[in-house]
């Protein structure tokens, strides 16, 4: 790697500020419901602690928008982290200021301290220089292991690197860059990619970039309906981004010109979407799906919307996945939060897991689906980054990576 690694540091006795992604889901009682991200940061943190570093951990949690929001405190995360680490961990109720400085000054080699949510300060996301300087003043060296926020130039991911002696990549960061970057730059072929989710607009640049590298692209989820509409297929009331229809046509042409395949759904699970009088927690009218059925072909009849890929599509996608040597998957094939419409996503998960190909899965929903299907151990790499992995796959330089010290 061109950037300094945590292994290049000499951490004994040093104060090391480690930016991690402890942005974990909490339930109404403030209990951590999924510790994947905490576990993912352990190798770097253990490595430093075992070598006698004084480890100061910082992260964001949720979107407190620059205000102290007790429901978004990192305190409950510290308990889980400490249990997983099997060491006592101290917690500072702020991330900058005198109180924190005193706690850091009292640290001994091998001690670990977690700072309060960085986003309690608006200066964090604004990449404010003074705030970054204050964070940096707590440490001698800095390690970034938060791949999930590396696509943002924030004070704790970019600004801080200007005020420390060395800024290195943690193990998780390195793994993400290796699998999403180096490995996909020169993958064993055939290389196929499966994209799903809600919006084409989020994924146009990824599709363009993948058309250079992959042999075939499969498109499912709501995104597929904008593509199908562009191909003149009736899509009923399915979600369509009208202003993106033209670009999907162009993408299909580009793919054909390059001799690449874009596979679109050939059948669907469809339903009538009905607004009820019941309100959800946010006061929005709840939606019900009625008259669920499979289509016989590619078209969706009037009044119905596509909610999942159908069995013919599952077969076509699974065949393509089964014949590949490298698979990349990002985004669900349908409204998989609703069990009735989760089959396509789970079948794709199974096909990826059983393919024997090198498999890389990114995006929270797809990773969730693979865990729920119990097949996660069959996957070569599960990315922890949603937006970051997409931007990286687009070929963009991530500011949090660019800012690290060159080797
Ligand atoms: P994204 O954040 O773009 O990856 O989109 C994920 C969301 O897409 C999930 O919440 C799915 O429910 C939604 N989604 C997938 N397929 C469909 C569909 N056919 N119609 C509406 N929403 C969908």
Write down how long the chain is.
407
Question: Measured between alpha carbons, how far is 304 from 239 in angstroms, rounded to an integer?
Answer: 11
User: Could you tell me if 80 and 38 are in contact, meaning their C-beta atoms sit under 8 angstroms apart?
Assistant: yes
Q: Average pLDDT in the 131-143 region?
A: 98
Strand order through the sheet with 261-263: 261-263, 216-219, 191-195, 326-330, 358-362, 381-382
Which one, of 332, 308, 313, lies nearest residue 265 by Cα? 313
- pLDDT tens-digit map of 157-194: 999 999 999 999 999 999 999 999 988 989 999 999 99
Q: Which of 196, 198, 273, 387 has the most ligand 1 atoms within 8 A of CB, as the residue to mutate? A: 198
Q: How confident is the model at residue 1 (pLDDT cuts 50, 70, 90)?
A: low
Measured in Å, residue 333 CA sits from the centre of ligand 1 at: 7
Nearest CA to ligand 1 atom 1: 197
Among 20-34, 97-111, 318-332, the minimum mean pLDDT is found in: 20-34
What number of other Cβ atoms are within 10 A of residue 65's Cβ?
A: 11
Bridge partners, 326 (sequence order): 191, 358
Are residues 387 and 357 in contact, defined by beta-carbon separation less than 8 angstroms?
no
User: What crossing angle do the helices spanning 75-85 and 36-50 adopt, rounded to 10°?
Assistant: 60
Of 238, 184, 240, give the one whose Cα is nearest residue 213.
184
Question: Which residue's alpha carbon is at the smallest distance from atom 21 of ligand 1?
Answer: 222
Helices 204-213 & 245-257, crossing angle to 10 degrees?
Answer: 0
CA-proximal residue: ligand 1, atom 4 (nearest): 197
Beta-carbon-side half-sphere exposure of residue 51 (alpha carbons within 13 Å): 16
Q: Report CA Rg, the chain.
A: 23
pLDDT score at 386: 83
Question: If you measure from the C-alpha of residue 394 to the centroid of ligand 1, how many angstroms do you get, rounded to a whole number?
Answer: 20
Average pLDDT, the chain: 95
In the structure encoding, which two tokens stand for residue 178, read together?
């290796």
Element (H, E) at 277: strand 268-279
- What pLDDT was estimated at residue 253? 97
Q: 150 and 160 in contact (C-beta within 8 Å)?
A: no
Residues 210-244 have pLDDT tens digits of: 999 999 999 999 999 999 999 999 999 999 999 99
Give the closest residue to 228 by CA, choosing from 297, 317, 287, 142.
Answer: 297
Judge contact between 193 and 396, C-beta under 8 A: no
- Asked if residue 12 has a cis previous peptide bond (ω within 30° of 0), the answer is no
* pLDDT average, residue stretch 243-247: 97
CA 122 to ligand 1 centroid distance, Å: 30
Longest distance between any two alpha carbons in the chain, whole Å: 70
Q: Is 290 left (phi over 0), alpha (psi -120 to 50) or beta?
A: beta
Per residue, the 3-state secondary structure of 144-195, as one string, reads ECCHHHCCCCCCCCCHHHHHCCEEEECHHHHHHHHHHHHHHHCCCCCEEEEE
Beta bridge partners of 262: 217
- Residue 221 Cα to ligand 1 midpoint, Å, equals 6
Protein residue with least CA distance to atom 18, ligand 1: 222
Pairing state of beta strands 90-92 and 112-115? parallel
Average pLDDT over residues 34-44: 94
pLDDT digits (tens, 9 = 90+) for 341-371: 999 999 999 999 999 999 999 888 898 889 9
Query: Which residue's alpha carbon is at the smallest distance from atom 12 of ligand 1?
Result: 335
Give the SS3 label for residue 263: strand
* Phi and psi angles of residue 83, each rounded to the nearest 5 degrees, phi first: -65, -45
Best of 335, 338, 341, 345 for a ligand 1 pocket test (most atoms within 8 Å of beta carbon): 335
Residues with CB under 6 A from ligand 1: 197-199, 202, 221-222, 239, 306-307, 331-332, 334-335, 337, 363, 365
| Confidence bin at 36 (pLDDT 50/70/90) | confident
Counting atoms of ligand 1 from 1, which one is nearest the CA of 363? 4
Ligand 1 binding pocket mutation candidate from 199, 221, 223 (most atoms within 8 A of CB): 221
Distance from Cα 196 to the centre of ligand 1, integer Å = 7
pLDDT band of residue 136 (cuts 50, 70, 90) is: very high
Interhelix angle 311-322/343-354, nearest 10 degrees: 20
Q: Quote the ligand 1 centre to 223 CA distance (angstroms).
A: 8
Tell me the two tokens of residue 15. Answer: 């104060």
62-104 pLDDT, tens digit each: 999 999 999 999 999 999 999 999 999 999 999 999 999 999 9
Q: Which domains, and CATH codes, for the chain?
A: 6-175 (3.40.50.1260), 187-393 (3.40.50.1260)
For the chain, percent of residues with pLDDT exceeding 90: 89
Q: Are 76 and 114 in contact (CB under 8 A)?
A: no
Query: What are the tens digits of pLDDT across the range 369-381?
Result: 899 889 999 999 9
Q: Catalytic residue numbers?
A: 37, 199, 364, 387
């Amino acid at each position: 790697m061109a950037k300094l690694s945590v292994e290049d540091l000499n951490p004994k006795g040093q104060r090391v500020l480690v930016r991690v992604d402890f942005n974990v889901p909490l339930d109404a009682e403030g209990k951590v419901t999924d510790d994947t991200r905490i576990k993912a940061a352990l190798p770097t943190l253990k490595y430093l602690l075992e070598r006698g570093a004084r480890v100061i951990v910082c992260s964001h949690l949720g979107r407190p928008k620059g205000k102290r929001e007790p429901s978004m405190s990192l305190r409950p995360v510290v308990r889980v982290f400490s249990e997983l680490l099997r060491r006592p961990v101290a917690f500072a109720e702020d991330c900058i200021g005198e109180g924190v400085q005193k706690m850091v000054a009292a640290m001994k080699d091998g001690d670990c301290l977690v700072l309060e949510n960085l986003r309690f300060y608006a200066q964090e996301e604004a990449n404010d220089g003074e705030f970054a300087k204050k964070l940096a003043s707590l440490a001698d060296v800095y390690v970034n292991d938060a791949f999930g926020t590396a696509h943002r130039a924030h004070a704790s991911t970019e600004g801080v690197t200007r005020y420390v002696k060395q800024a290195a990549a943690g193990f998780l960061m390195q793994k993400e860059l290796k699998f999403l970057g180096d490995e996909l730059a020169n993958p064993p072929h055939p290389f196929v990619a499966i994209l799903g989710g809600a919006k084409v607009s989020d994924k146009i640049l990824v599709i363009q970039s993948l058309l250079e590298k992959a042999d075939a692209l499969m498109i499912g989820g709501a995104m597929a309906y904008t593509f199908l509409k562009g191909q003149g297929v009736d899509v009923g009331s399915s979600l369509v981004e009208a202003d993106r229809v033209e670009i999907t046509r162009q993408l299909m042409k580009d793919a054909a010109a390059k001799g690449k395949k874009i596979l679109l759904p050939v059948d669907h699970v469809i339903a009538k979407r009905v607004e009820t009088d019941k309100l959800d927690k946010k006061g929005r009218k709840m939606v019900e799906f009625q008259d669920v059925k499979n289509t016989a072909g590619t078209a969706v009849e009037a009044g119905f919307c596509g909610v999942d890929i159908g069995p013919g599509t599952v077969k076509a996608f699974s065949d393509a996945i089964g014949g590949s040597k490298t698979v990349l998957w990002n985004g669900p094939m349908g409204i998989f939060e609703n069990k009735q419409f989760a089959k396509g996503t789970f079948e794709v998960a199974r096909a990826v897991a059983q393919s024997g190909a090198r498999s890389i899965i990114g995006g929270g929903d797809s990773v969730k689906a693979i865990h729920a299907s119990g097949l996660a151990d069959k996957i070569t790499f599960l990315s922890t980054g949603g937006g970051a992995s997409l931007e990286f796959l687009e070929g963009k330089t991530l500011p949090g990576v660019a800012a690290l010290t060159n080797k």
